[in-house]
Structure 1
């Protein structure tokens, strides 16, 4: 048969990291994942009915149980039902005699919610495969092993090139995901990203886009990147206009749509016309252009964002525009602290400044390889790191820029896939 389809069931907000990482690893292993995150915002049926139908259609049901019972389901008329979405999903798996793989997350305090205790008791009265995990990073390995054990699916699993995006940057990815989920009803998001120009700015944005595409669906995200360099920067208005012109030019080029008015509304309308759900915009500001002009650039950026933010149209509630302002320094000692301090107090970046992009080292690469199963044992992993990373330029702390490591990571992925293909 083709790839197995796996339905992921759990409460949501308390298990976001667990679900996201599990879905990512299953996708990488070429399984078909089905879950509520992938549902379109507007459904022609109740979410409960959709969930139960998807469970019935899936090959395998994976349930993750934490210390929360979850939201009570609603029917098509908006009336509250007696059980949670998670329990209805489980009931559908039992009713349709699906393979059920249940994983309990270790809890710190005794469970007091009688509804959850009753649900757990129900689970334990029926045959199922169960596992227990402490950390969300341990869950994918347990699930994959259980899937193979239950299905006998020992097919070769190839690692996609996007796996390199998962190297380090955990803090930035978590910050981004949490910000999106905490403000899920917003239309426009602003993020500030600081770091040396060679420290993986592009890879970090690609990682965020990868996450967005998993949520909104493949090919539904537009990505635009450009330098904000108005030379010479005479005033903030000129910088604002320079940004507007570049953004408008790229958007029209990528969509073949004519945009006559520069506004958030016109951009959302453009997304509608080209059937995209999300527009990701990276504005790059380098210290080369900032020297002696920081205040002017701050004024221009602030004017641009203030003008663009003025939108409140319910027609576009399912669309999102995400801005990344990259403040990149060229000289680690001279520019870093000054630039970050000057930009982080801008109103649009309040609580939106991502952790600074720092250099990485061999330990981080080894951890990345272990987490993504890019080696059969420690000896093979050590040899791969030595072969592909030994020639990378390092500082006195044996650290190096992420951009310099990207090609080596691609070679490691190619080595793994070639080995799998020939095995």
Structure 2
């Protein structure tokens, strides 16, 4: 198979670490040998150099990855070559569009702090700010690759990994769906036991809290829960929602944000297209249960995530606890065998504002139903057990060779984010 040429486009000074992480992803051997990078680090978009080389290389690439934060970047002054007075980054984007390239676009989370344009020329600075807004709107209208803005370099790299896998490797698994699902079961046995033990037969609405590092990829564990329900002949639907939850919001704001997020994901779900919600206030326990009845679903999993950098005070803890207490009380009014699982993930993001120990202390005071489920790193023996238990590979010598060839290093254990693509590659070898 021919190798896909990848071009990564962004401003440089503000996103150097982000670019480096994405570039390392392609060069680290985690992916099948299907991609090559066109070298661009020597003439990055911030450098005041002729833009011809950048545009020329975009024209040669197969995949154009655009990363935009809060800087517009250098605008080449040659109006003959740049009549629209675009930045080099936007010129690259226009070239990718005009050449019908595969375009993957990623925008930064607007709530996060990123370096912005600065210029002694006030008029030029104002022009850049206006052009950046227009550029972002253009990209959004053309459809973002991921609905969430990235919050840090790791988050961006994860989004890129997912986009590449979904774009190029999903078809490989089309006839191997069972094997694809196996990745969600590595390993998390003890955590799954804690979840199963916490389930209650007599409650329709149940609450579970997952305590994790962002690199633990807690959404994989949530996916595992859904798959195990299906394997037990429990018809299950899952919605992963993206509520805007701020540390200074009051409870009404949090509840409304949850309703908005549920409405958005509900209306995106193909299974629910006949039951679209017009307003966030249409989201109610009664409405959800009636649709589950009509579609004959036994269980609905609604999962959400809050990263540690949202915690500036204890208000968020209080609101999450209040959400649990309010809807747990609704159980007394319900007579149904249906189950709604609210699975919340609180994940630690490495930052200067909060240590991991401080994060752990913060979440101890959250009241959210069952005992929090603590995700941990996965070790080599657990991966070998996974290969044996799921009939992936039971020969110890072959297992050892696979681990040696595909794992990202000699460490005894790994975050799941470091294992995802090696595990997929193991499945691809079947």
2:366 aligned residue (346, 366, 369): 346
| Alignment partner of 2:227 out of 210, 214, 218 | 210
Q: Is the 8 A contact 2:259 2:283 kept in 1?
A: yes
Q: Secondary structure at the match of 2:371?
A: coil
- What is the Cα deviation at residue 315 of structure 1? 7.2
SS of the equivalent of 2:306 reads strand
- Cα shift at 1:191: 0.6
- Separation in structure 2 between the aligned mates of residue 248 and residue 316 of structure 1, nearest angstrom: 24
Quote the Cα distance in structure 2 between the aligned partners of 1:372 and 1:357: 21
Please tell me whether the aligned partners of residues 196 and 332 of structure 1 are also in contact (alpha carbons under 8 angstroms). Answer: no
SS, match of residue 216 in structure 2 = coil
Which of the residues 284, 292, 315 maps onto 1:271?
Answer: 292
Match of 2:208 in 1: 191
- Normalising by structure 2, we get a TM-score of 0.52
The alignment status of 1:379 with 2:400, answered yes or no, reads no
Question: Once the two structures are superposed, what CA deviation does each residue of 1:146-199 show, in whole Å capped at 9, x if it has no partner?
Answer: xxxxxxxxxxx996222222212011111112222xx22221111110111111
Q: Structure 1 regions of 5+ residues with no counterpart? A: 1-156, 417-423
Distance in 1 (CA, whole Å) between partners of 2:292 and 2:250 is: 31
Inter-partner Cα distance in structure 1 for 2:424 and 2:255: 38
Judged with a 3 Å threshold, the aligned counterparts in structure 2 of structure 1 residues 303 and 163 are, in CA distance, closer, same or farther, namely same
Describe the SS at the equivalent of 2:239. strand
Distance in 2 (CA, whole Å) between partners of 1:335 and 1:316 is 44
- Match among 339, 343, 347 for residue 328 of structure 1: 347
Q: CA deviation at 1:332?
A: 8.6
Compared CA separation, residues 208 and 383, structure 1 to 2 (3 A):
same
Instruction: Say which of 255, 258, 283 aligns to 1:243.
Output: 258
Q: How does 1:12-411 map to 2 (within 5 A)?
A: 160-180=179-199, 183-217=200-234, 220-231=235-246, 233-254=248-269, 255-256=272-273, 257-259=275-277, 261-290=282-311, 292-293=312-313, 295-312=314-331, 317-331=336-350, 334-349=354-369, 351-354=370-373, 356-389=374-407, 392=408, 398-411=412-425
2:276 and 2:392 map into 1 onto residues whose CA distance is 46
Name the structure 1 match of 2:102: none
SS in structure 2 of the partner of residue 328 of structure 1: strand
Q: Distance in 2 between matches of 1:160 and 1:382?
A: 20
CA distance in 1: counterparts of 2:247 and 2:191, whole angstroms: 33
Which secondary structure state, in structure 1, belongs to the residue aligned with residue 368 of structure 2?
helix
Retained in 2: the 8 A contact 1:286–1:330?
Answer: yes
- Taking the aligned partners of 1:314 and 1:299, their CA distance within structure 2 comes to 24
Residue pair 1:224, 1:280 contacting (<8 A) in 2 also: yes
- Name the CA shift for 1:384/1:339 in 2 (closer, same or farther; >3 Å): same
The alignment's TM-score, normalised by the length of structure 1, stands at 0.53
Check whether the contact 1:287–1:328 (CA below 8 A) recurs between aligned residues: yes
Runs (5+) with no aligned partner, structure 2 = 1-175
The answer (yes or no) to whether the contact 1:279–1:320 under 8 Å persists in 2 is yes
Root-mean-square deviation (Å) = 2.7
In structure 2, the CA distance between the partners of 1:164 and 1:302, relative to structure 1 (3 Å rule), is same
Between the aligned partners of 2:183 and 2:342, the Cα distance in structure 1 is 23
Q: Report the 3-state secondary structure (helix = DSSP H, G, I; strand = E; otherwise coil) of the residue aligned with 2:206.
A: strand
Q: Aligned equivalents of 1:314 and 1:300: distance in 2?
A: 23
* Cα distance in 1 for residues equivalent to 2:343 and 2:219: 10
